[in-house]
Homo-oligomer: A and B are copies of this chain.
Amino acid sequence: MINEFELIEKLLAYAPEKTGRSDSPLRVPAGDDACLLNQIKNPVVTTDTQRHGVHFKLDWQTPEEIGQKAVTSTLSDLAASYAMPISLFVNLAVPPSIKDSTLEKIYKGMKKALVHYSCTLGGGNVSEGRDLSLDLFAIGEGRDDIFPVRSSATAGYGVYSTGPLGLAASGLDALKRGDVSFTRLVSCFKNPYARFDAAEILAENRVMCVIDISDGLAGDAGHIAKASGVSIKLVVPPGQIDPDMSAYCEKYGLIPENMLLAGGEDYELLFACAPETFDRVKKRLPDTFQVGECLPFCGQHITGLPADVASFSHGTGS
* Structural contact, B133 and A47, CB atoms closer than 8 A: no
* Structural contact, A49 and B81, CB atoms closer than 8 A: no
What's the tally of chain A residues with a CB closer than 8 Å to chain B? 61
Residues on B with C-beta less than 8 A from A28 are 147, 149
Question: Given contacts A39-B40, A81-B36, A93-B133, are A45 and B212 in contact (CB under 8 A)?
Answer: no
Residues on B with C-beta less than 8 A from A93 are 49, 51, 131, 133
Candidates B32, B87, B129; contact of A149 at CB < 8 Å: B32
Residues on B with C-beta less than 8 A from A175 are none
* Structural contact, B49 and A91, CB atoms closer than 8 A: yes
Q: How many chain copies?
A: 2
Candidates B83, B128, B135, B314; contact of A135 at CB < 8 Å: B135
* Structural contact, B33 and A212, CB atoms closer than 8 A: yes
CA A124 – CA B137 in complex, angstroms?
9
Residues of A within 8 A of B (CB): 1, 27-28, 31-49, 51, 54, 77-78, 80-81, 83, 87, 89-91, 93, 122-125, 127-131, 133, 135, 137, 139-140, 142, 147-151, 210-212, 227, 313-314, 318
